[in-house]
Amino acid sequence: MSNHDNFDISTKSILNLSDEVKNKISLLFDEMNSIFHSIFLKGFINLKKSTINELKSFQSRILKLELNSFAFYVNEFIKSAERLLNFRDNQDGAIETDNTEVERDLEQLTQFFNYIIVYLRVYERVQTKSIVLSSMK
């Protein structure tokens, strides 16, 4: 898996992808937007195992498109979320936010969530530019 230092969301890297790959990514990102919007509305503490499974499925499709840096962030989000879910399940559904492990996982979830949202927003903006540019030809 790619190191997070290789997080490449540059306009040039996205514009250089083939139309077929861009279309697949666009569909995946629409799905990802929906999943993350749901997570954002419900909050990290209320994450469900089914959401984590959706993300795992999503991540495998990202890897097939060789978006390794993006997949890295999704994977890290999943790992933090699973630790938080396990902790919550072991505590009969209660999460003490003063627990340092829980705090760390919540911080990591927030950080990776933000990276993923940035990636999605940049991609969305680039896609819009790409459509405008191609219509001007």
Question: pLDDT at position 78, please?
Answer: 86
Upper half-sphere CA count for residue 70 (Cβ side, 13 Å): 28
Average pLDDT of span 80-88: 81
Per the structure, the count of domains in the chain is 1
Residue 44 lies in a domain: yes
* Domain hosting residue 23, numbered range: 17-136
Closest CA to 70 of 115, 137, 37: 115
Please write down the long-range contacts of 30-36, taking CB distance under 8 Å and 24 or more positions apart: 31/58, 32/58, 32/116, 32/120, 33/120, 36/113, 36/116, 36/117, 36/120
Q: Is residue 43 part of a domain?
A: yes
Give pLDDT, residue 34. 78
Q: Where are the beta strands (DSSP E) in the chain?
A: none
- pLDDT band, very low/low/confident/very high, at 28 (cuts 50, 70, 90): confident
Q: How many residues does the chain have?
A: 137
Q: What is the average pLDDT across 96-117?
A: 74
**Mean pLDDT along residues 56-76:** 81
Q: Is residue 110 part of a domain?
A: yes
Would you say residue 113 lies in a domain?
Answer: yes
Q: Is residue 105 part of a domain?
A: yes
- 108's enclosing H/E stretch is helix 100-136
Confidence (pTM): 0.64
pLDDT number for residue 135: 59
